[in-house]
């Protein structure tokens, strides 16, 4: 395994170890369905994605494409949180959690139409949700809980000045190429005309980019939640914790 990949794996591992250490302190300081709660859950999800990517890369069997495709999750998580932070934490956190009703209704409709779930056996549960089904479901196509796409969220962050042009272009490129690796794409499929000829340099580079897609969001969101709780006088010694995570990231 290349030293640069080993270095990024080491940095990810150190950030992950730090989060495991401070996570109980953070968990004890947050309220349910608040922005801090949403941020906490997102950090945990990014860590889970990072652990999966780490496991894929450590097999060292040309799995860079799969690692990069999986990294799309952490990009979407990070962009969504930054968008909520930018647009208004209380309003957009509520909008996010309220979207669970839409997802429940989608599940109900799919279960009913496909017969995959016997709704008669779930009738008591369905009855508790009957108010949810009074209004027709508004389809959003490929849009997200926010009513806009991830691409448009990134564009909004750039236009509002939350991201400079370089940051916007970097995340846009990472997201585009991770989507191509994940979906049925002519650009990606052409690489498999002869599987044994997949470029090993491209595979290794994709490992590096996949780790970048996890490491910075992981670090930045941990830093944000520590700052949020510290400035609210909820978490003591938060400046010390922030200094530690910054040292780990920059090392």
Q: What is the pLDDT of residue 143?
A: 66
Instruction: Please check the confidence at residue 2 and state whether its pLDDT lies above 70.
Output: yes
What is the total count of domains within the chain?
1
Compute the mean pLDDT over every residue in the chain, rounded to the nearest whole number. Answer: 86
CB 158 within 8 A of CB 150: no
Q: What is the pLDDT of residue 196?
A: 62
Q: What is the pLDDT of residue 130?
A: 56
What string of DSSP letters covers 104-145? HHHHHHHHHHH--S-GGGGHHHHHHTGGGGSSPP---TT--T
Q: Which residue has the higher pLDDT, 21 or 110?
A: 21
Q: What is the pLDDT of residue 231?
A: 84
- 147-167 burial: b if 16+ Cβ within 10 Å, else e: eeebeebbebbbeeebbeeee
Q: pTM for the complete prediction?
A: 0.86
CB 65 within 8 A of CB 183: no
Helices (H) and strands (E) in the chain, counts: 11, 0
pLDDT bracket for residue 39 (50, 70, 90): very high
pLDDT bracket for residue 47 (50, 70, 90): very high
Residue indicated by tokens 């839409």:
102
Mean pLDDT value across residues 25-38: 91
- 238-249 burial: b if 16+ Cβ within 10 Å, else e: beebbeebeebb
Task: Give the integer Cα–Cα distance in Å for 158 and 171.
Answer: 11
CB 104 within 8 A of CB 129: yes
Condensed to tens digits (0 to 9), the pLDDT of residues 203-241 reads 788 999 999 999 999 999 999 999 999 888 778 889 999
Going by C-alpha positions, the residue among 14, 17, 12, 148 that lies closest to residue 84 is 148
CB 42 within 8 A of CB 73: no
Q: What's the DSSP call for residue 192?
A: G
Q: Rank 82-96, 110-124, 137-151 by mean pLDDT and report only the highest.
A: 82-96
CA of 27: how far to CAs of 12, 36, 154, 214, 243, in Å? 21, 9, 29, 21, 20
Phi-psi region at 60: left, alpha or beta (left = phi > 0; alpha = psi -120 to 50): left
Q: What is the pLDDT of residue 107?
A: 72
Condensed to tens digits (0 to 9), the pLDDT of residues 118-164 reads 666 655 555 555 555 555 445 555 568 998 999 999 999 999 999 99
Q: Which residue range forms the structural domain that includes residue 140? A: 3-250
Quick one: what percent of the chain has pLDDT higher than 90?
58
């Amino acid at each position: 395994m290349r030293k640069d990949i080993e270095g990024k794996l080491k940095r990810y591992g150190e950030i992950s170890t730090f989060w495991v250490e401070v996570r109980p302190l953070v968990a004890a300081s947050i309220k349910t369905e608040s922005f801090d709660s949403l941020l906490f859950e997102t950090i945990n999800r990014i860590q889970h994605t990072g652990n999966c990517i780490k496991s894929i890369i450590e097999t060292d069997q040309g799995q860079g494409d799969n690692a990069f495709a999986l990294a799309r999750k952490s990009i979407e998580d990070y962009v969504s949180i930054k968008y909520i932070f930018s647009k208004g934490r209380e309003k957009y956190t509520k909008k996010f959690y309220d979207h669970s009703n839409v997802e429940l209704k989608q599940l109900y409709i799919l279960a009913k139409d496909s017969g995959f779930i016997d709704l008669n056996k779930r009738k008591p549960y369905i009855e508790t949700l009957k108010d949810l089904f009074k209004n027709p479901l508004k389809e959003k196509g490929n849009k997200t809980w926010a009513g806009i796409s991830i691409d448009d969220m990134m564009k909004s962050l750039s236009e509002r000045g939350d991201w400079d042009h370089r940051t916007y272009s970097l995340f846009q490129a990472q997201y585009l190429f991770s989507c191509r690796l994940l979906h049925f794409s002519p650009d990606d499929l052409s690489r498999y005309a002869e599987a044994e000829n997949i470029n090993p340099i491209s595979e290794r580079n994709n490992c590096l980019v996949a780790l970048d897609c996890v490491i910075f969001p992981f670090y930045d969101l941990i830093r944000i939640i520590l700052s949020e709780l510290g400035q609210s006088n909820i978490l003591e010694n938060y400046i010390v914790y922030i200094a530690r995570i910054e040292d780990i990231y920059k090392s």
